[in-house]
Amino acid sequence: MAIVLDGSNANTVGIPNLATAQASTSGTAITFTGIPSGVKRIFVMFNGVSTSGTSNIQIQIGSGSVTNSGYTGGASRGTTVSDNSTGFVVIQNNTASNIYSGIAILALFNSNLWVESGNTISNASDAATVSGGALPTLSGVLDRVVITTVNGTDTFDAGSINIQYE
pLDDT of residue 2: 52
Spatial distance between the Cα atoms of 128 and 146, rounded to a whole number of angstroms: 21
Q: Which residues contact 55 (CB under 8 A, 6 or more apart)?
A: 94, 149, 150, 151, 152, 153, 154
**Domains in the chain: boundaries:** 15-71+91-165
pLDDT of residue 91: 86
User: Which residues sit opposite 90 in a β-bridge?
Assistant: none
pLDDT of residue 125: 66
pLDDT of residue 164: 98
The per-residue pLDDT string of the chain (166 residues; one tens digit each, 9 = 90 and over) reads: 455 555 555 555 668 999 999 999 999 999 999 999 999 999 999 999 999 999 999 999 999 999 999 999 888 887 778 888 999 998 887 888 899 999 999 999 999 999 999 999 988 766 678 888 888 899 999 999 999 999 999 999 999 999 999 9
The fold of the 15-71+91-165 domain, in CATH, is Jelly Rolls (2.60.120)
DSSP 83: -
Spatial distance between the Cα atoms of 115 and 41, rounded to a whole number of angstroms: 10
